């Protein structure tokens, strides 16, 4: 029997989500590397954490590694009566935790502050505080208060109060009683010679999307009960009965009216098209047709005037214009860390002109970004309003009038394109989806001019261009339906 493994705050939280995730995190094989977008979000969180610590400075920074040194330095800092200790390290019953900010009173009493780059307190933050408190109290400290310091969603740069301090002492207290039992169960899992045989379930996405989904969900076919639009918890009832494929569903299950086109398409193997609805939508279009897409950058710590934490800042656009059968293309990318919005909107308004429909995929996104620019720069308000009035949403075709089982229950452009226009694909591009585009954009603007910067810029331009070309080609298919 292997010895009990040391637990950390992250493995404890993983253990609350799923025993198999805990086992893999502690015993291996290692979890897959985070993708570029996840890493980008983690880096943003680190940047916010550093800034938060500065607000409590000066303080004693404890080095992250090696563990023994971190524990020793924390002990010494407490002995010396240091008030603010960052990344304070503690170990108790082989559980190792670090407190982002420890505010020590020098008499064995302290507060703990967990810094989060989210704009609100999340349920898992409470468990995070509870396990820290459990370990600190095991070390003889009394934790008077437990706080989450998170981004203030109402902060507007440059302003006051980028962070909000939220007292979660009571909430964390209420989780303390469960900790011994949770730890017993986790240690039992970790002592076993083999990983637990945990089945998939709603826990795979709660509270976080599990990094092992690619492995654990392999047995679920591409089109399954999980693809049925808005099926909610019913899908798990079917799954637990061994009903995974659409062809396994019982006859009595007809689905709600909005699920019927998908089920009918699965059963017939053909798309279900509401030709009347599609025809009236297509009749709304006015030439020239401008197919438009934006890319954005989200910064946890805003740097441009008038922006908020995590606001989506428009940095790039692509527009394909179709007029009398001829296709043209224009594009823009802001390639430095300065404020991109004025150049973005001026070049875009010029490219769109005053006539024709502006076709987007999921209008709330583009309309929302245009609204934000109009609020920040009222001199563009009238022209932006006129563009918004011309917006036509291609996604609504697939939401309301055209369903193909091949979309696997999602109407995202990435699911719709391979079915509607199989010859057009993102597969050969370095950047294949919006999250990666954002991570790569952040990397590009951090680089000095040169080969690597130019290479990323080219990849981003290709990606955004393909998004709008995809809409053009889908439009051509839709136009041919009678």
Residues contributing to the site for ligand SF4 (CB under 6 A): 17-18, 20-21, 198, 200, 203-204, 210, 212-213, 216
| Shortest distance, position 249 Cβ to ligand SF4, whole Å | 23
- First CA to last CA distance, the chain: 69
Task: Report, in angstroms and rounded to the nearest whole number, the Rg of the chain calculated over CA atoms.
Answer: 26
| Cα gap 179→189, rounded to integer Å | 15
| Shortest distance, position 17 Cβ to ligand SF4, whole Å | 6
| Cα gap 237→367, rounded to integer Å | 38
Judged by beta carbon, residue 25 or residue 246, the one nearer ligand SF4 is: 25
Distances (CA, A) of 111 to 51, 93, 319, 439: 19, 21, 53, 35
Judged by beta carbon, residue 25 or residue 431, the one nearer ligand SF4 is: 25
Judged by beta carbon, residue 194 or residue 382, the one nearer ligand SF4 is: 194
Judged by beta carbon, residue 22 or residue 376, the one nearer ligand SF4 is: 22
**Both tokens of residue 78?**
């407490």
Largest CA distance in the chain: 81
Judged by beta carbon, residue 18 or residue 472, the one nearer ligand SF4 is: 18
| Cα gap 35→24, rounded to integer Å | 18
3-state SS class at 100: strand
- Could you tell me how far CA 278 lies from the centroid of its own chain? 32
| Shortest distance, position 32 Cβ to ligand SF4, whole Å | 11
| Shortest distance, position 132 Cβ to ligand SF4, whole Å | 23
| Shortest distance, position 18 Cβ to ligand SF4, whole Å | 3
Judged by beta carbon, residue 110 or residue 210, the one nearer ligand SF4 is: 210
| Shortest distance, position 198 Cβ to ligand SF4, whole Å | 5
Contact 187, 154 (CB under 8 A): no
| Shortest distance, position 63 Cβ to ligand SF4, whole Å | 32
3-state helix, strand, coil in the chain (%, to 5): 45, 20, 35
Query: Helix and strand tally (H, E) in the chain?
Result: 18, 14
Judged by beta carbon, residue 198 or residue 347, the one nearer ligand SF4 is: 198
Contact 446, 266 (CB under 8 A): no
């Amino acid at each position: 029997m292997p010895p009990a493994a040391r637990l950390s705050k992250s493995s404890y939280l993983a253990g609350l989500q799923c025993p198999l995730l805990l086992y893999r995190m502690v015993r291996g094989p290692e979890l897959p590397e985070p993708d570029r977008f996840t890493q980008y979000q983690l880096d943003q969180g680190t940047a916010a954490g550093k800034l938060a610590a500065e607000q409590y400075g000066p303080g004693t920074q404890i080095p992250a590694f090696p563990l023994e040194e971190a524990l020793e330095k924390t002990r010494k800092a407490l002995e010396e009566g240091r008030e603010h200790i960052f990344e304070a390290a503690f170990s108790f019953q082989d559980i190792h935790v670090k407190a982002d900010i420890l505010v020590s009173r020098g008499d064995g009493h302290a507060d703990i502050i967990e810094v989060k780059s989210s704009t609100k307190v999340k349920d898992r933050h409470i468990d995070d505080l509870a396990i820290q408190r459990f370990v600190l109290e095991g070390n003889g400290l009394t934790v008077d208060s437990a706080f989450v310091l998170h981004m203030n969603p109402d902060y507007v740069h440059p302003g006051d109060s980028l962070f909000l301090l939220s007292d979660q002492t009571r909430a964390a207290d209420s989780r303390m009683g469960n900790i011994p039992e949770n730890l017993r169960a986790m240690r039992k899992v970790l002592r076993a010679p083999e990983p637990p045989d945990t089945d998939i379930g709603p826990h795979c996405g709660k509270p976080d999307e599990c990094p092992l989904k690619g492995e654990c969900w392999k047995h679920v076919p591409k089109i399954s009960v999980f693809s049925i639009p808005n099926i909610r918890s019913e899908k798990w009832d079917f799954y637990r009965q061994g009903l995974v494929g659409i062809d396994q569903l019982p006859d009595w299950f007809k689905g709600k009216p909005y699920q019927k086109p998908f089920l009918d398409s699965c059963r017939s193997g053909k798309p279900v098209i509401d030709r009347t609805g599609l025809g009236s939508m297509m009749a709304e279009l006015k030439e020239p047709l401008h197919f438009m897409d934006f890319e954005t950058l989200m910064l946890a710590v805003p740097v441009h005037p008038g922006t908020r934490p995590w606001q989506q800042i428009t940095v790039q656009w692509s527009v394909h214009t179709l007029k009398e059968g001829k296709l043209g293309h224009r594009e823009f990318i802001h390639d430095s860390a300065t404020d991109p919005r004025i150049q973005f909107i001026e070049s875009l308004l010029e490219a769109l002109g005053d006539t024709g429909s502006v076709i987007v995929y999921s209008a709330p996104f583009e309309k929302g970004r245009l609204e934000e620019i109009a609020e920040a720069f009222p001199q563009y308000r009238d022209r932006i309003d006129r563009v918004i009035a011309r917006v036509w949403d291609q996604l609504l075709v697939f939401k309301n009038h055209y369903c193909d089982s091949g979309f696997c229950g999602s109407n995202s452009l990435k699911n719709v394109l391979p079915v509607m226009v199989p010859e057009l694909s993102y597969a050969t591009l370095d950047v294949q989806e919006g999250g990666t585009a954002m991570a790569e954009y952040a990397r590009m603007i951090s680089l000095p001019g040169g080969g690597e910067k130019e290479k990323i810029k080219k990849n981003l331009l290709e990606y955004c261009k393909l998004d709008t070309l995809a809409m053009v080609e889908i439009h051509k298919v839709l136009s041919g339906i009678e």
